[in-house]
Chain A
Amino acid sequence: MVLEQVLYGFQVAATPANLMACFIGVLLGTFIGVLPGLGPVATISILLPITLKMTPVAAIIMLAGIYYGAQYGGSTTSILVNLPGEATSVMTTLDGYQMALQGRAGPALGIAAIGSFIGGTIALVGVMFLSAPLATFALRFGPPEFFALIFLALTIVTSLAVRSTLKAIIVAALGLLAGVVGMDMDTGMPRFTMGIRTFNDGIDLVPVIMGLFGVGEILSNVDEKMKIDLLNVKLERIWPSMRDWVESRMPILRGTAVGFFLGLIPGGGALISTFASYAVEKRISRHPEKFGHGAIEGVAGPETANNAGAQASFIPLLAFGIPSNVVTAVMLGALMIHGVEPGPLLMTQHADIFWGVITSMYIGNAMLVVLNLPLVGVWVQILKIPYRYLFPIILLFCMVGVYSTNNNVFDIFTMFFFGIAGYLMNKFGFEPAPFVMGMILSSLFENSFRQSLVLSDGSLGIFFSRPLSAVLMTVGLLVLASHLLTWFRKLMATSPE
Chain B
Amino acid sequence: MKADDRVSGFLLMILGGATCLEATRYRIGSMTTPGAGFFPLLLGLFVVSLSFALFMKSFSPPKDPRPSESLWMVLTRKKVWYIVLALIVYGLLLDRLGFLLTTFAVFTFILRAVEPQKWWLCILGGIAASVGCYVLFYLALGVQLPHGILGP
Chain A, residues 152-171, CB within 8 Å of chain B (1/0): the string is 00000000000000110110
For residue A8, give the distance in angstroms from its CB to the closest CB of chain B.
29
Max chain B Cβ within 10 angstroms of own Cβ: one of A187, A446, A449, A495: A446
Neighbouring B residues of A170 by C-beta, 8 Å = 12, 47, 50-51, 54
Chain A, residues 427-454, CB within 8 Å of chain B (1/0): the string is 1111000000000000000100110011
Bound-complex Cα distance A495 to B59 (A): 10
Contact of A412 with B by CB under 8 A: yes
Neighbouring A residues of B15 by C-beta, 8 Å = 174
Given contact pairs A219-B80, A392-B125, A180 touches B39 in the complex (Cβ within 8 A): yes
Contact of A419 with B by CB under 8 A: yes
Contact yes or no, B133 A400, CB < 8 A:
yes
Neighbouring B residues of A391 by C-beta, 8 Å = 114
Bound-complex Cα distance A395 to B83 (A): 9
Which of A66-74, A106-114, A291-299, A403-411 participates in binding chain B?
Answer: A403-411
Contact yes or no, A458 B30, CB < 8 A:
yes
Bound-complex Cα distance A49 to B86 (A): 21
Q: Name the residue on B nearest A411 (C-beta).
A: B91
- Residue from the list B37, B74, B95 in contact with A427, Cβ < 8 A: B74
Q: Name the residue on B nearest A163 (C-beta).
A: B1
Contact of A350 with B by CB under 8 A: no
Contact of B88 with A by CB under 8 A: yes
- Residue from the list B63, B84, B145 in contact with A420, Cβ < 8 A: B84
How many A residues touch the partner, as a band? 35 or more
For residue A191, give the distance in angstroms from its CB to the closest CB of chain B.
6
Contact of A24 with B by CB under 8 A: no
Q: Name the residue on B nearest A443 (C-beta).
A: B39
Contact yes or no, B34 A223, CB < 8 A:
no
CB interface residues, B 19-50, toward A, < 8 Å: 19, 22, 26-27, 30-40, 43-44, 46-47, 50
Contact of B77 with A by CB under 8 A: yes
Contact of B105 with A by CB under 8 A: no
Number of interface residues of B (CB under 8 A): 67
Given contact pairs A392-B107, A396-B129, A400-B133, A177 touches B1 in the complex (Cβ within 8 A): no
Given contact pairs A170-B54, A173-B47, A392-B125, A215 touches B87 in the complex (Cβ within 8 A): yes
Contact yes or no, A393 B129, CB < 8 A:
yes
Given contact pairs A393-B129, A430-B8, A223 touches B77 in the complex (Cβ within 8 A): yes
Neighbouring B residues of A400 by C-beta, 8 Å = 99, 103, 133, 137, 143, 145
Contact yes or no, B44 A403, CB < 8 A:
no
Chain A, residues 35-57, CB within 8 Å of chain B (1/0): the string is 00000000000000110010000
Contact of A236 with B by CB under 8 A: no
Max chain A Cβ within 10 angstroms of own Cβ: one of B43, B86, B111: B43
Contact of B141 with A by CB under 8 A: yes
For residue A251, give the distance in angstroms from its CB to the closest CB of chain B.
34
- Residue from the list A177, A218, A415, A496 in contact with B43, Cβ < 8 A: A177
For residue B64, give the distance in angstroms from its CB to the closest CB of chain A.
13
For residue B68, give the distance in angstroms from its CB to the closest CB of chain A.
9
Contact of A184 with B by CB under 8 A: yes
Chain A, residues 12-25, CB within 8 Å of chain B (1/0): the string is 00000000000000
Neighbouring B residues of A407 by C-beta, 8 Å = 144
Neighbouring B residues of A459 by C-beta, 8 Å = 31
For residue A404, give the distance in angstroms from its CB to the closest CB of chain B.
4
Contact yes or no, A403 B74, CB < 8 A:
no
CB interface residues, B 87-101, toward A, < 8 Å: 87-88, 90-92, 94-95, 99
Q: Name the residue on A nearest B99 (C-beta).
A: A400
Contact yes or no, A454 B33, CB < 8 A:
yes
Neighbouring B residues of A428 by C-beta, 8 Å = 4-5, 7-8, 71
Contact of A486 with B by CB under 8 A: no
Contact of B149 with A by CB under 8 A: no
For residue B118, give the distance in angstroms from its CB to the closest CB of chain A.
13
Neighbouring A residues of B43 by C-beta, 8 Å = 173, 176-177, 180
Q: Name the residue on A nearest B134 (C-beta).
A: A400
Neighbouring A residues of B115 by C-beta, 8 Å = 222, 388
CB interface residues, A 473-497, toward B, < 8 Å: 491, 494-496
Bound-complex Cα distance A391 to B79 (A): 12
Contact yes or no, B4 A409, CB < 8 A:
no
Neighbouring B residues of A192 by C-beta, 8 Å = 19, 22, 40
Contact yes or no, B83 A219, CB < 8 A:
yes
What are 12 A-to-B residue pairs whose CB atoms are below 8 Å?
Answer: A191-B26, A391-B114, A395-B86, A403-B94, A403-B145, A404-B145, A409-B92, A415-B87, A428-B5, A428-B7, A429-B1, A450-B39
Q: A399-B90, A400-B145, A450-B38 are in contact. List 18 more A-B contacts (CB 8 A).
A: A184-B36, A219-B83, A219-B84, A222-B80, A388-B115, A395-B86, A396-B103, A396-B129, A400-B133, A403-B145, A404-B143, A412-B94, A419-B87, A453-B31, A453-B32, A457-B32, A458-B33, A496-B61
- 7 tightest CB-CB pairs across the interface, nearest first? A458-B31, A458-B32, A388-B115, A412-B91, A404-B143, A184-B36, A446-B39
